[in-house]
Amino acid sequence: MTLVPPNSTALERAADDTASLRISGIEVPIRHLWDPDRCPASLLPWLAWAVSVDEWNPEWSETQKRQVIKRSPAVHRQKGTRGAVESALEALGFTVEIIEWWEKEPKGTPGTFDLAIQIPAGYAVDAATYDEVERLVDGAKNKSSHISSIVLTPAGLTQAPVFSSAVASGIVTTIYPLGRIGAGDDV
């Protein structure tokens, strides 16, 4: 069926034929668009926006993106709690340990907490990762608490780093054969 009038030009009829073929051939899986597991990868940023994902990184793997989208409603339900911070970081595959100020010995500064995070393979322990962790935690924690320290450890690290040093000192002494020193030589 066509909507172009009978007096249309050949170009208009060709455009109508082309448009009708393309539109009818496109499948629109509406029910899959809201499912993080079945949504096409190219549409994940829009799904993340629709479910209010606070932090989005296009460099994440597809699996990480899907996990962040899945966990977003839980993070928003728990926002401002320890569980929200854990859930936000665990969505990226991080293993998180939160140490609140009252759990330290001696007690820390009230309203602060430390993060000990084991990061998965594929992440570097660098400033970009620290910044990403800070942004994720900042979006999930309550606004009256502050991060005291962040310790990132790569996954699979079984040996603690070992530091050592050495110091060497000495004096250079030149010994001349007997009789070689003359009257004009400096000693």
Task: Tell whether 180 is covered by a domain.
Answer: no
Residue 105 pLDDT > 60: yes
**Average pLDDT for residues 27-38, to the nearest whole number?**
87
- Angle at which helix 62-78 crosses helix 82-90, to 10 degrees, equals 170
Confidence of residue 82 (pLDDT cuts 50, 70, 90): very high
Residue 184 has a pLDDT of 58
Task: Tell whether 1 is covered by a domain.
Answer: no
182 or 16, greater pLDDT: 16
- Tally of domains in the chain: 1
Task: Tell whether 185 is covered by a domain.
Answer: no
Task: Tell whether 179 is covered by a domain.
Answer: no
119 or 26, greater pLDDT: 119
Neighbours of 9 (CB within 10 A): 9
User: Across all residues in the chain, what is the average pLDDT?
Assistant: 86
- Coil, strand, or helix at residue 130? helix
Model pTM score:
0.63
Residue 22 pLDDT > 70: no
Domain extent at residue 113: 29-154
